[in-house]
A and B are shown apart, each in its own frame.
Chain A
Amino acid sequence: MDEPEGFREFVEARSRDLLRSAWLMSGDWHTAEDLVQTALAKSWPRWNRLVRADRPELYVRRVMLTTYLAWRKRKSFRELPLAELPDVDATVDGATDMRQVLLAAMRSLPPRQRAVVVLRYFDDLTEADTALALNCSIGTVKTHASRAIRTLRRTPGLESTLNEEAIR
């Protein structure tokens, strides 16, 4: 099958960011790579049309999300609980603790809320683009984001940090 023009360049330029997003959603590199590869493989046959439509990355993210959400529904999908993950950072300082707290809080969110948080605050998509990626309305995105943020702000450790920033 012929390689679409510009596809390899897109993969080289964007795959690391896609992998990081997928990791934030799935929690492990193997699943993250599987998700990104699946999304790219599904996008490959449509690539020329996607480029003409000017939003190829949004489509790839959309496929990645729908694949992730579909996998989550399957009983065979298993996610490592954070409490049983091995140590992932040698340093024990405030920044590391905060990252661990954030990751644990993210892991506790329902999949769609977690996806909205990743798209809005990590990938920096607009509400409209997040809605497109998740195939839902902007109102639904706002609802998911609001609930997710409320949960994150209630998480011990995160709440004070977020409020500290608000006071400054």
Chain B
Amino acid sequence: MTDTNDHHLARLMEQAAPEPPTGVDFGALQARVRRRRTATVAAMCVGTVLTFGAVAGIMVHFEPKPASQTTAPIPASDSGSLAGSLLLVGGPAPGMPVPRPGTVHVVSSDGSIDLTTKAGPDGRWEIDVPPGNYVVRATSPGYLSTEGSHDACGPAHNPVRVTVDRQTSVDVYCQMR
């Protein structure tokens, strides 16, 4: 690879990487820092409780407790989340995907969980759900379907897998004909 080619590749990459729709949301960043701090403190508390619990358990020689006094475990986060953007794409003169407000509909593969959430004017949406596989659909006002008809827009792949403590990214597309 010559220096000229290095330069040309760098120029191509500069052209290929679009400008981000927005910069980093500093408020969201501050909230994330607070959540990380809280999670760290909570983990330390759990560790302390477990340590004390183990010591206390040894000291009382596993003395049985009445059922009503059974210590409930400190609940850990048992959900994951889905998040992404609702985007209008295609059409007679396709251009950049356009963020759309709307309603995103999330249904677990066994049908036991059926939730909706709103996509804002910037198309962004997020929803916390238990781990599992989900079919994601959406509708956007004015696009083919009316509010409540959730089958018009969808992601590139369905179903989508959600795991514990992990945010799965899913962009949902409303394809213009």
A interface vs B, CB < 8 Å? 1, 3, 8, 11-12, 15-16, 18-21, 23-24, 28-34, 36-38, 40-42, 44-45, 74-76, 78, 80-81, 84-90, 95, 98-99, 102-103, 106, 117-118, 121-122, 124, 146, 149, 152-153, 161-162, 165-166, 168
Contact = CB atoms under 8 A, between A and B. Distances in A.
Interface of B: 1-2, 4-10, 12-21, 23-24, 26, 28-30, 32-34, 36-37, 80, 83-85, 87, 89-90, 93-97, 156-157, 160-163, 166-169, 171, 173, 175
A87 B24 contact: no
Contact of A165 (B4, B26, B161, B162): B4
Contacts of A86: 87, 89-90, 94, 97, 173, 175
24 contacts: A1-B34, A3-B30, A11-B24, A15-B23, A16-B19, A30-B85, A32-B20, A34-B167, A36-B24, A40-B29, A78-B160, A78-B168, A80-B171, A86-B97, A87-B94, A89-B95, A98-B15, A102-B12, A102-B16, A122-B10, A122-B17, A152-B9, A161-B8, A165-B7
Chain A interface secondary structure, helix, strand, loop or mixed? helix
Contact of A37 (B17, B24, B84): B24
Contacts of A75: 161, 163
Contacts, number: 148
Nearest to B23: A15
A89 B96 contact: yes
Given A36-B24, A87-B95, 6 more contacts: A16-B19, A20-B18, A33-B20, A34-B167, A121-B9, A166-B4
A19 B20 contact: yes
A43 B36 CA distance: 12
